[in-house]
Structure 1
Amino acid sequence: MRDSRLLEFARRSRREMTEPETRMWLELRAKRFHGIKFRKQKVIGKYIADFSARDPMLVIEIDGDSHGVQREYEERRTRYLEGQGYRVVRFTNEEVMTNLDGVLQRLGEIVCDMNPPLPTLSPEGERAL
């Protein structure tokens, strides 16, 4: 059973996103990015992912300054999410604020790597079907 405090914190975080999270969400929401349905501040196990998708299994984290204990927590969270089958991609607040186009381009490359295009059949292959 999920911790009700964690769910409440996720709800509050959805309403009170940071500026970098808001900028990223405007690009991801409503299947705007490669037709992928992203959720914001999604509870996954005992952690909250900034943005997550189920198809492909992708988590996007927007990181502020990390020091000591926070970095260790993020590493544990990443290991957990990867153990659940997610690919975890991290960008910094600064990257999102100063180079959003570059962030989206890199994210697009990652998505394409996760979902390679289906091979096209040769004319001979089509006749064989």
Structure 2
Amino acid sequence: MPIPKKTIRARELRRDATPFEIQLWQMLRSHKMEGIHWRRQHPIGPYFADFACATAKLIVELDGNSHDGREAEDANRDATLLEWGWTTLRIPNRDLMRDPESVWRTIAIHLESPTNELMPKIES
């Protein structure tokens, strides 16, 4: 049976991860929370989430320079994912670089929140 195209693409994205994606992946793996399991480059519909936790229906997207000028496209994607029950937390690469523990605290607060509301961007 052939490997699905989405699986192949997800593997390519994981293989070609940015240094910031590698850093956040290591952080997510090192901070264990009961019932929380993260997936990298997880396909959801036509999209690939940088990091997704199905239990919490939370997506964490790292936004670097490639997202400059794509705010409307990102907002449309986030709105579609929200319609499907997913909340997207967008984190600028610069915030991960400046204060990784603050990034982790923001993710943890969202995971522990009783509501599933969209969290604001972390601003440094």
The answer to whether the superposition gives a TM-score over 0.5 is: yes
> What's the CA shift for 1:76?
1.5
Q: How does 1:107-118 map to 2 (within 5 A)?
A: 107-114=107-114
SS in 2 for 1:89: strand
2:32 match = 33
Alignment gaps of 5+ in structure 1: 116-129
- 2:11 matches 1:11: yes
Given that 1:56 and 1:114 are in contact with CA atoms closer than 8 Å, whether structure 2 keeps it comes out as: no
Distance 1:82 1:33 in 2: 25
Q: TM-score, normalised by structure 2?
A: 0.79
Q: TM-score, normalised by structure 1?
A: 0.77
The number of residues matched between the two structures is 110
Q: CA RMSD in A?
A: 1.8
Which range moved further: 105-114 or 91-100?
105-114
| CA offset digits 1:63-112 (Å, max 9, x no partner) | 012333x2222112111111110111110111111110000011111111
Runs of 4+ with >4 A deviation: none
Identical aligned pairs, as a percentage? 27
Q: How does 1:16-95 map to 2 (within 5 A)?
A: 16-29=16-29, 32-35=31-34, 36-65=36-65, 66-68=67-69, 70-95=70-95
SS in 2 for 1:28: helix
1:103 match = 103
Distance 1:101 1:24 in 2: 10
Alignment gaps of 5+ in structure 2: 116-124
Give the number of the structure whose residues are more often helix, by fraction. Answer: 1
Given that 1:61 and 1:89 are in contact with CA atoms closer than 8 Å, whether structure 2 keeps it comes out as: yes
In structure 2, relative to structure 1, the CA distance for the partners of 1:87 and 1:12 (3 Å cut) is same
